[in-house]
Structure 1
Amino acid sequence: MRLFVSPYILAAVFAWFVAQGLKYTIAMYAGRKLGSMRQLYLSGGMPSAHSASVAALLVVVGFKDGIDSAVFGLALLFAAVVMYDAIMVRRSSGEQGVALRWLFHHFKLKPENSFRTAKGHTPKEVFGGAILGLIIGLVVYFATL
């Protein structure tokens, strides 16, 4: 059962949970209605849990395996793709979903299936998640020495 003591897995999972908890807390203080625990796992918002997870993993890989290792190169590429996707692809498709929802409402059309619009992240949310991941990656690395 080495999976649960792996600093790589621990950093990514811990960063995810901390980011989602912070996202819920930030939304609560911003005055949004948070009636259910479902808010803890929705996408979008500050900080990006995706960015926090991949940044935390990248930090642990860098410290444990070295920044000149092949696995660090892969982790860096993986982090870059995830963060780019959060800002560019997911954000754009979320905005398109909002526009579609407006069109359905404006023209009083009933979609065959109801749909949820999942928003992506702003650059600020991704940056916030990356900084959080960096901190959590450092904490996990030094705590597991």
Structure 2
Amino acid sequence: MFLSYPILSALLGMLVAQIIKVPIHFITSGKFDWRMAFSTGGMPSSHTSMVIALTTAIGLTSGFGSNAFAISIVFSSIVIYDATGVRRQAGFHAEVLNRLLADFNRLMETMKDPETTNAESRQKLKELLGHKPAEVFFGIITGILTAVLAFIFYPF
């Protein structure tokens, strides 16, 4: 086959998680937004789903006691930590910076300074970067289920 089973599982894990974000966003917000399929953050974590699908696939093919599985577990742990820690904090920082920028722009408008009233209007920073623990948990579930289903249907 062109794609190995672990690579296929990882790609499917990410794809399934990204597609699932659209109906979940619709159910929780009442708004249908296809852009959710291409966004970072949200439920479930596609980064987590991807690395867990890869790790599960490696465990199923190489054995859960193999060195390849151990490497994949460490790699997955780093990605999950980053999704819930660093990237989530970056999202919080973006939220604060966006509020500061909006306040600054309002201040400039009230001062009626012609030189700065139309100063650069920056695009808002992306705030939805990281994941809540529940989003990561369901990313793990999505990754495992995707890898197991791909294992059942993959023609070895």
* CA–CA separation in structure 1 for the residues paired with 2:21 and 2:63: 31
Structure-2 residue corresponding to 1:8: 6
* CA–CA separation in structure 2 for the residues paired with 1:69 and 1:141: 18
One-letter amino acid of the counterpart of residue 44, structure 1? G
Identity, % of aligned positions: 32
Structure-1 residue corresponding to 2:125: 116
* CA–CA separation in structure 1 for the residues paired with 2:129 and 2:67: 33
Q: Give the total of aligned pairs.
A: 142
TM-score norm. by structure 2 comes to 0.83
RMSD of aligned alpha carbons: 1.8
1:49 pairs with 32, 46, 51, which one?
46
Alpha-carbon shift at residue 143 of structure 1 (Å): 1.9
2:63 pairs with 47, 53, 66, which one?
66
2:88 pairs with 66, 81, 91, which one?
91
* CA–CA separation in structure 2 for the residues paired with 1:3 and 1:80: 28
* CA–CA separation in structure 2 for the residues paired with 1:13 and 1:29: 25
2:35 pairs with 27, 33, 38, which one?
38
Alpha-carbon shift at residue 47 of structure 1 (Å): 0.4
TM-score norm. by structure 1 comes to 0.89
